[in-house]
Amino acid sequence: MAKVKKQPRPKAQTPKGFRDYFGAEVVQRTAMLSKIAEVYHRYGFDALESPAVETVEALGKFLPDVDRPNEGVFAWEEDADWLALRYDLTAPLARVYAQHRNDLPNPYRRYAMGPVWRNEKPGPGRFRQFYQCDADTVGTSSVAADAEICAMLADTLEAVGIERGDYVVRVNNRKVLNGVMEVAGVLDPSDPDKFAAERGIVLRAIDKLDRLGMGGVRELLGEGRKDGSGDFTKGAGLSDEQVQIVMGFMEAKRDTGPATVARLMELVQGSETGVTGVNELETMAMLLDAQGYASDRIEIDPSVVRGLGYYTGPVFEAELTFEVTDEKGRPRNFGSVAGGGRYDDLVKRFTGQEVPATGVSIGVDRLLAALHAKGRLDTKAVGPVIVTVMDRDQMAYYQTLVAELRNAGIRAEVYLGNPKNFGNQLKYADNRDSPVAVIAGSDEMANGVVQIKDLILGAQIAQNATVEEWKDRPSQYEVPRAELVAKVREILAGQGV
């Protein structure tokens, strides 16, 4: 009889491009999202939670640099329909608004938070699943909505711990860039598809300014660029005169907003679209200034283009301006943590009618990394108070102790491992970063008392056992059973918890 082949054990490893998040990371993210939600709520935005799965048809083909809708997403076929995990939170919003528009207020202001998935090649710090945090206004063409999003973004960064001076929200307008390309001869208003490939290269080139510099962008606007490894990237093939017009746009930023606006107006003369875009920028600047958002927080910057093809008007990006050290020890600016803009054509795919919309998306993981880099987050979370078990037959008694602590709002747990070795219980408490241990054996129960051990102070005394100042500082207290909660609170307060 043939031997039954043994089923191999599955490998205990995360799929490529994904990662696990533990304790403190999850707690920190939840706390940060709560602060962001508070700002969004204060601005009058309502929460929305939509499914993680959408039809591929509903998601469309707006993933950056992707031509086919089912490329770059995790998709599967079901009942003759293709379904996919959402790649952002904006495309689902377009579907939600189109489906429920008769029941929603107009304009509709919503915020959403959650994971998104992209089926693309992972790399260092680049995962296939990551969190986004969006806020959008659907149903108004007023640039006051765009200005409001920028103001809210600035307030949000400060609310989570990014200080004023460590960030800037940079604003541009796609209509201005379209006007410049019209003047340069790479956009024909009567035939939007003409020169589409060239415009795509121009957009991607400008978007790489911070990485390639003016020289690298100039090469991509022309014949192309060869990088340090020898790889060649085909350029847009613009003439020297055309390149000069686009480069003039990129170099239009001046010391003040009004001066930048004036220079942009010079560059777009002859283009109705371009003039409209400059006027919109001027209006946004006026509205933001009226609310107290000066150029140290929000500024006009022509180099902002945003990569997605669906932007139709104002675009914005939040950049952190402080330096961090990269893996090779070199100083680097932290860079962008959020971006967005106006997308007046996205809902039209469903309704056939143009529905104006504007919004912003915050990269949650990058913002958390920035807060870590600034030292705004504790690297270790405070663990629970541990109620140790001296007599397993008295488990009900220990559960009354832990219930009292929890009812008083103190994070606590009973040790549920093997209680035979008390030293292992304290090791467990140490591994959990517990600040306090509660000890009650038969003698304590008989006398109506509990022992409360300050684990933080105890560890400090152990490290400084020869120093006189520690000798008169007790790390363990015996208190009446009724004073359990009060004493634990006192110790936690002394630890700054």
Show the tokens assigned to 434: 């517990």
- Whether residue 466 is predicted with pLDDT greater than 70 in this model: the reply is no
Give the pLDDT band of residue 257 (cuts 50, 70, 90).
confident
3-state secondary structure of 454: strand
pLDDT score of 436: 96
- Whether residue 467 is predicted with pLDDT greater than 60 in this model: the reply is no
Residue 230 or residue 46, greater confidence: 46
| DSSP codes joined into one string, 117-137 | E--S--BTTB-SEEEEEEEEE
pLDDT score of 158: 96
Cα angle value 364/370/373 (rounded, 5°): 145
Average pLDDT of the segment spanning 109-118? 96
Please tell me which of 193-202, 216-225, 408-417 the model is most confident about, judged by mean pLDDT. 408-417
pLDDT score of 161: 93
CA pair distance 440, 452, nearest whole angstrom: 9
List pLDDT tens digits, range 203-227: 788 777 777 888 888 888 888 888 8
* Closest C-alpha to 314, from 297, 293, 296, 300: 300
- Whether residue 150 is predicted with pLDDT greater than 60 in this model: the reply is yes
In the chain, % of residues over pLDDT 90: 56
Phi, psi of 47, deg, nearest 5: -75, 145
Average pLDDT of the segment spanning 177-194? 85
pLDDT score of 298: 96
pLDDT score of 463: 64
Domains of the chain: 23-186+238-373 (3.30.930.10), 385-494 (3.40.50.800)
Please tell me which of 38-42, 118-122, 206-210, 468-472 the model is most confident about, judged by mean pLDDT. 38-42
- Whether residue 165 is predicted with pLDDT greater than 70 in this model: the reply is yes
pLDDT-wise least confident of 135-139, 197-201, 255-259: 197-201
- Whether residue 179 is predicted with pLDDT greater than 50 in this model: the reply is yes
Of all helices (H) and strands (E), which one includes residue 452?
Answer: strand 449-454
Give the pLDDT band of residue 385 (cuts 50, 70, 90).
very high
pLDDT-wise least confident of 173-187, 269-283, 355-369, 443-457: 173-187
pLDDT score of 380: 64
Q: How far is CA 332 from CA 95, 324, 329, 409, in A?
A: 39, 5, 9, 43
pLDDT score of 123: 77
pLDDT score of 470: 43
Give 457-465's long-range contacts (Cβ < 8 A, gap of 24+). Answer: 457/495, 459/430
List pLDDT tens digits, range 44-93: 999 999 999 999 888 876 554 444 445 688 988 888 888 999 999 999 99
pLDDT score of 201: 82
Mean residue pLDDT across the chain = 88
